[in-house]
Amino acid sequence: MSILIDSQTRLLVQGITGRDGSFHTQQMLEYGTQVCAGVTPGKGGQLFANSVPIFNTVADAVHQTSANAAVIYVPPAFAAGAIAEAADAGLGLIVCITEGIPTVDLLRILPFVREKGARLVGPNCPGLISPGSAKVGIIPGNICLPGRVGVVSRSGTLTYEVVNHLTREGVGQSTCVGIGGDPIIGTNFIDCLAAFESDPDTDAIVMIGEIGGTDEQQAAEFVAGNVKKPVIGFIAGQTAPKGRRMGHAGAIISGSSGTASEKMAAFEANGISVMERPVDVVHLVRERLGQVSV
């Protein structure tokens, strides 16, 4: 089993004819994802890869293909509008890969998305993958292995590194979710922790955070009160100087609550095993599962 996506996901790609959209759509098709439609205004009626119909609007695509999820690869200036269009068309899952969307645009769009009952993953995220079933976004399929460890991360690069360490040691994943590193995102750690806790085919959870904000501390408190499965955590930016942003717009220390040491202390205080380095993930997962084969 998995969370958010599976083999029944019918995916619509917004921006399918652009450079990034076309490249990653091909990757998703080769992985086995059901890419049933693409949307690029003005290019309706064409085919992508001789198989995926392209539509002018999301509403037309959903009506004609029964798509139930969207992934967005459009420029920042148009991405908020693309999110709103997907939500308005009734899609339940919207994954936005686009980086650099103005925060004010997200503040305006998120209430509308929630009002429509949709879940937004991202923006500025690598998407998600349920190994062996489907991938939505840009996480490389070749580093993943089907299994029973859930992964949720603010960092795309660290997602890849941790997943690669797990796979190389034969520790498979149920779903890997990159939630994005912007200050305003649609799906947070707590959303994913709750979903993994409810998933009968996830035995342990790996959570990868970074400096800046208090999301990790809030997630740690949630784990203590609501998650019975073992959780292993990592905080990126442990050597970052105060006031220096590290990669993501949200990864900036603006006070004591945003430091790596404060977040790691919160993890330990709430029963989360802390990785000093990403390579430690395999040992800690196996240790918390009592050497059970995963």
Residues with a catalytic annotation lie at 248
Tokens for 250?
């949200």
Q: Which residues contact 256 (CB under 8 A, 6 or more apart)?
A: 262
Q: Which residues contact 77 (CB under 8 A, 6 or more apart)?
A: none
Q: How far apart are the first and last CA of the chain?
A: 14
Between strands 52-55 and 47-48, the pairing is antiparallel
- Using CA atoms, how far apart are residues 248 and 57, in angstroms rounded to an integer? 31
Coil, helix or strand at residue 211: coil
CB of 263 closer than 8 Å to CB of 235:
yes
Structure-token pair, residue 110: 């998120």
Instruction: Tell me, rounded to whole angstroms, the distance of Cα 245 from its chain centroid.
Output: 21
Q: Residue 97: which of 56, 128, 118, 141 has the closest Cα?
A: 128
Q: Residue 294 has which token pair? A: 């995963």
* β partners of residue 153: 178, 208
200 by Cβ neighbours in 10 Å (0-12 / 13-18 / 19+) ranks as exposed
Residue 175's Cα: distance from chain center in Å? 9
| φ, ψ at 3 (rounded to 5°) | -115, 145
